């Protein structure tokens, strides 16, 4: 079993022509390549990029310097200060004409990507996390995903009695009871966890209102589960890319059918996203 994180966002302004690109996917991709990876910079573009007429995919490398102390080899009993640079990768996929951005990481990674697009590539974008309705998503999951159940929900403020109030994260043995709980505290809900059947093993998905999704599944089921998630949140990766895939393969894609969406996005991921 492996865990993955993805953050969905609306990214407006990437289509407009700027000083260093012509507003097209090709122009934006060329801007990624021109920026490149300078080891002296905190952020760089790792391994180039991939683009089509509708989207751009790239991986950023983020460097963080930290200090640590280690025993001195010249003066016993003394400590020498050392500086080491940590590297981590952040994958992203951008659909400029649809104002859609996916960051394969946490909301904090989304902030880094937003700053890079705005300052590093001078795209002058405005990025906002995609707002998710947890109650609607869970209800949709229960009716469209195979054997889907609501496992837990977390709310920020619950008054259990007249003198106790605080965060509450109950576990549910009955999904209907969980939906009633979410409906009652919809305004204060901060997360909901569902479980459903995937091809190899059951998958667990945690949704938040701020567009951040964490899921755990068998490695072989990653694309299938990611397709289901895209179908739930309504972005389905790239609708344009799905339509192009449908025309090329003769596949009929019903966006209200979770299984069809998962199969379609699975093919798109395998062909376009690679290991993102």
**Eight-state DSSP code of residue 118:** I
Residue 51's pLDDT is what? 78
Interval 69-78 mean pLDDT: 75
Which tens digit of pLDDT belongs to each residue from 106-158?
Answer: 899 999 999 888 888 887 788 889 888 888 889 889 988 889 999 999 998 77
Does the pLDDT at position 75 exceed 50?
A: yes
Does the pLDDT at position 247 exceed 60?
A: no
Interval 44-69 mean pLDDT: 82
pLDDT band at 252 (very low <50, low <70, confident <90, very high): low
146-149 long-range contacts (CB < 8 A, ≥24 apart) are: 146/196, 146/197, 146/259, 147/196, 147/197, 147/202, 148/175, 148/194, 148/195, 148/196, 149/175, 149/194, 149/195, 149/196
Interval 49-63 mean pLDDT: 84
Does the pLDDT at position 257 exceed 80?
A: no
Which tens digit of pLDDT belongs to each residue from 153-210?
Answer: 999 877 766 677 778 888 998 899 889 988 888 888 899 999 999 999 999 999 999 9
Percent of the chain with pLDDT over 90: 18
Residue 213's pLDDT is what? 93
Does the pLDDT at position 238 exceed 50?
A: no
Q: What is the 3-state secondary structure (H, E, C) of 6-68?
A: EEEEEEECCCCCECCECCCHHHHHHHHHHHCCCCCCCEEEEEEEEECCCCEEEEEEEEEEEEE
18-22, 43-47, 267-271: least confidently modelled range? 267-271
Which tens digit of pLDDT belongs to each residue from 35-49?
Answer: 888 888 888 888 767
Does the pLDDT at position 67 exceed 60?
A: yes
**Eight-state DSSP code of residue 165:** E
Per-residue buried b or exposed e for 4-39, using 16+ beta carbons within 10 Å of the residue's own CB:
bebbbbbbbbbbeebeebebbbebbbbbbeebeeee
Percent of the chain with pLDDT over 70: 80
Residue 271's pLDDT is what? 41
Residue 270's pLDDT is what? 44
Q: What is the 3-state secondary structure (H, E, C) of 198-260?
A: CCCCCEEEEECCCCEEEEEECHHHHHHHHHHHHHHHCCCCCHHHHHHHHHHHCCCCCCCCHHH
pTM for this prediction = 0.74
Residue 205's pLDDT is what? 94
Tell me how far apart the alpha carbons of residues 202 and 155 are, in angstroms, rounded to a whole number.
25
């Amino acid at each position: 079993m492996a865990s993955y994180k993805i953050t969905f966002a609306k990214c407006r302004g990437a289509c407009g022509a700027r000083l260093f690109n012509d507003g097209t996917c090709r122009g934006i991709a060329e801007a990624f390549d021109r920026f490149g990876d300078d080891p002296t910079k905190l952020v760089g573009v790792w391994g180039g990029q991939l683009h089509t007429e509708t989207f751009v995919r790239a991986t950023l490398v983020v460097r963080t310097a930290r200090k640590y102390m280690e025993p001195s080899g010249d003066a016993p009993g003394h400590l020498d200060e050392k500086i080491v640079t940590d590297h981590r990768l952040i994958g992203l996929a951008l659909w400029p004409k649809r104002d859609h951005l996916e960051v394969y990481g946490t909301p904090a990674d989304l902030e880094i990507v937003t700053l890079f697009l705005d300052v590093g590539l001078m795209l002058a974008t405005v990025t906002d996390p995609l707002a998710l309705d947890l109650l609607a998503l869970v209800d949709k999951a229960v009716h469209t995903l195979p054997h889907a159940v609501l496992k837990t929900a977390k709310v920020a403020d619950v008054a259990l009695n007249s003198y106790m109030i605080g965060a509450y994260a109950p576990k549910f043995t009955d999904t209907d009871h969980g939906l009633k709980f979410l409906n009652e505290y919809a305004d204060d809900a901060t997360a909901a966890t569902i479980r459903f059947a995937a091809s190899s093993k059951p998958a667990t998905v945690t949704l938040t209102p701020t567009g951040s999704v964490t899921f755990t599944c068998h490695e072989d089921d990653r694309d299938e589960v990611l397709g289901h998630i895209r179908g739930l949140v309504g972005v389905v990766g790239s609708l344009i890319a799905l339509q192009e895939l449908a025309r090329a393969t003769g596949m009929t894609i019903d966006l209200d059918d979770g299984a069809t969406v998962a199969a379609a996005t699975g093919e798109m991921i395998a062909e376009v996203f690679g290991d993102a």
